[in-house]
Amino acid sequence: MCADLQSKQLAAREGYLTVENAELYYREIGQGQPVIILHGGPDFDCNYLLPDMDRLADSFRLIYYDQRGRGKSAGNVRPEDVSIASEIEDLESVRGYFKLEQAVVLGHSWGGLLAMEYAIRHPQRVSHLILMNTAPASHDDYLLLRQDRRKRAAADVEELKARSSDIKYQAGDPDTVAEYYRIHFRATLRRPEHLERVIQSLRRSFTKEGILKAREIEEQLMNETWLSSEYNLLPKLRRLSTPTLVIHGDYDIVPVECAAHIAQALPGARFVVLRECGHFSYLECPDKVRKEIADFLDNS
């Protein structure tokens, strides 16, 4: 399997597309129905999804991109210029660049929130919506996530607080930040090799400058979404008719209730909770994820 994944990576097509005040890095692989993949974070880039998400490339045309100001799309981007509006405009530019009348939009974690925001604004451009281990869709559910985290992993929360006060962490030292995320994700990645795989994928992208810029962008986007007491996508989701698949893990770092609220709001959404699976279902439960996505796209 590893050899297969490596060969698929070599076959990937990479490049940049120009948008207002930025250049977005993209990576395209596979053939078939186009799927635009939105990475999480919001301070990460698409590198952590690789090569495991590429397992879908033998059936679908996967289009990844680094969101503005992160990863290889950092360029000369100013953090204060990144907003939900610019994120939506960038996603629309990606769709237009690849000349897609419609596309499947798959969002992982934070990417799920971005996918929902895009579908609300451009429902005619989204043929299918796939929310994989999605982030919460409202301020209230973000608070639920934080409360659940404190209850389920109180020791981790305290250790993370201590780590975040470390001078090296605050300065964006890549190794220190990688260790921070090792603690952050260890409760949701129960197999050590999976945790190591995710941390090493993140670490490959980390630079001091990139970390500090992405951290500012994350703060901007969080202030605009979860940290605003009025933020709530659920009423808007109820007006969508886009076929939707919500995939979640039973020990996801995001409580299952948050994903359930989204699935309940979206008319006719298919809601799947994968057993023995955490926040990185494409890595932890690849066969189940493939089957659910294939069945969903074949039958909707």
Q: Which long-range contacts (CB under 8 A, 24 or more apart) does 164-169 make?
A: none
Q: Is residue 249 within 8 Å of residue 132, measured between CB atoms?
A: no
pLDDT given at position 1: 41
Dihedral sign of CA atoms 254, 260, 265, 269 in order? positive
- Structural domains in the chain (count): 1
State how far the Cα of 37 lies from the Cα of 102, in Å rounded to an integer: 14
Whichever domain contains 277, its CATH number is 3.40.50.1820
Query: Which H/E stretch holds residue 29?
Result: strand 22-29
Q: Is residue 127 within 8 Å of residue 100, measured between CB atoms?
A: no
Walking along the chain (300 residues) 10 residues at a time, the average pLDDT comes out as 44 93 96 96 96 94 98 94 96 97 97 98 97 98 95 90 95 97 95 96 95 97 97 98 97 97 97 97 96 95
State how far the Cα of 256 lies from the Cα of 266, in Å rounded to an integer: 16
pTM for the model stands at 0.94
Domain that holds residue 7: 2-298
Tokens of 3: 């050899």
